Amino acid sequence: MTRILAIESSCDETAAAVVEGLPPRVISSVISSQIDLHKAYGGVYPEVASRAHTERILPVIEEALSKARTTMAKIDAIAVTYGPGLIGALLIGVNTAKALSYSLGKPLIPVNHLEGHIFANFIEHPNAPFPIVALTVAGGHTTLALLHDTKRIKVLGQTLDDAAGEAFDKVAKLLCLTYPGGPEIERLAKRGNPDAFRFPRPMIDDASLDFSFAGLKTAVLYQVRELKRIDTKTKTDLCASFQQAALEVLVRKTIRAAKKHQARSLFLGGGVSANQKLRSMMRKAVAQDLPDAFLSVPPLALVTDNAAMIGVAALYRYAQGRPGNWRRVRVDPNASLGRNDRLG
């Protein structure tokens, strides 16, 4: 059975995991979050992230191996996120992985971070029927993708400007909430009225499957400027109304993509899919509009950044006979989905 050590360092989480087999099994998954380091800056400070990754990466790898009760000698291959992400952060994971691969003579499998978010769904649902439409909503990306099998991923649509998570983080910042903004907005939105403010739902009825969140963020900004004083009730209403607008777009477009491509499964992934309201709206929409489709919503620990998802994507690549050579692995901060065939 193939056993892989996976490393993830694309943003503000230093993570390592041991995974094995097909169907994939997670043996250990260790995540060292840097959120507390970045809070003071109101967002991820790239240089601080790189330094923290440098300090933490080896202890995190050691912990993942020890929790899995294994050693490098029993690992068949190493997997690492090569992009997209912050270049300085990615370099720490990729160079650590290259050093391990070179010194131990083990294959190195480069994995696209977004592909990892999609493949996290196969951990609990390895037999989800194809075709699959996957919505990946993270801090830097909002992507709808189509899978006819595990080999090829086709991008159906993506954001033309801000990512959904980025919009949550920016709206949170202008409401003076702490970083990361998504969970804070969700917390306040629970007490607010989603109909209090009518914010735009950008591109919701557009024929394309692309997204745009910059206009929605700006609409919240103008509303905030217009309000002379923002008391707690108004703040919760702003959060609820913004969240409702953003989530309606995500759900409506995902359903449209699934109908158009006759999807038999829908996958969710990325930090924003930790949002309980998004999960419940998506469940409701699938039950109503696509009652025969299967909806996969991974547990919270698998939707935000982790290395288990990178390892799982690598297990499929390895099984397809694409083990990868460290010499050919390159960091690509702007890597997009579906183009990673040229690597590894």
Residues that bind ligand KG4 (CB under 6 A): 11, 138-140, 165, 168-169, 180-183, 186, 270-272, 274-275, 304-305
State how far Cα 89 lies from the chain centre: 16
C-beta separation of 145 from 337 below 8 A: yes
As a whole number of angstroms, the distance between CA 228 and CA 240 comes to 19
Compute CA distances 165 → 14, 62, 227, 294, whole Å: 19, 31, 25, 25
As measured in angstroms, the least distance from the Cβ of 214 to ligand KG4 is 15
The 126-145 contact track toward Zn ion, x by CB under 5 A, reads: ------------x-------
As measured in angstroms, the least distance from the Cβ of 76 to ligand KG4 is 27
Tokens for 288?
């109503």
Those residues whose C-beta lies under 8 Å from the C-beta of residue 300, and which sit 6 or more positions away, are 274
As measured in angstroms, the least distance from the Cβ of 115 to ligand KG4 is 12
As measured in angstroms, the least distance from the Cβ of 328 to Zn ion is 24
Q: What is the CA radius of gyration of the chain?
A: 20
Is residue 268 close enough to count as binding Zn ion by CB under 5 A? no
Q: Which of Zn ion, ligand KG4, none is residue 274 near (CB under 5 to 8 Å by kind)?
A: ligand KG4
Q: Roughly how many angstroms between the first and final C-alpha of the chain, as a whole number? A: 21
Q: Which of ligand KG4, Zn ion, none is residue 118 near (CB under 5 to 8 Å by kind)?
A: none
What residues pair up with 96 in beta bridges, in sequence order? Answer: none
Is residue 166 close enough to count as binding Zn ion by CB under 5 A? no
Closer residue to ligand KG4 (CB): 94 or 100: 94
Is residue 13 close enough to count as binding Zn ion by CB under 5 A? no
Tally the C-alpha atoms within 13 A of residue 295's C-alpha that lie toward its C-beta: 22
By beta carbon distance, the residue nearest Zn ion is 138
Closer residue to ligand KG4 (CB): 150 or 275: 275
SS3 295: strand
Q: Which of ligand KG4, Zn ion, none is residue 140 near (CB under 5 to 8 Å by kind)?
A: ligand KG4
As measured in angstroms, the least distance from the Cβ of 180 to ligand KG4 is 4
Tokens for 181?
């903004």
Interface residues toward Zn ion, by CB under 5 A: 138, 305
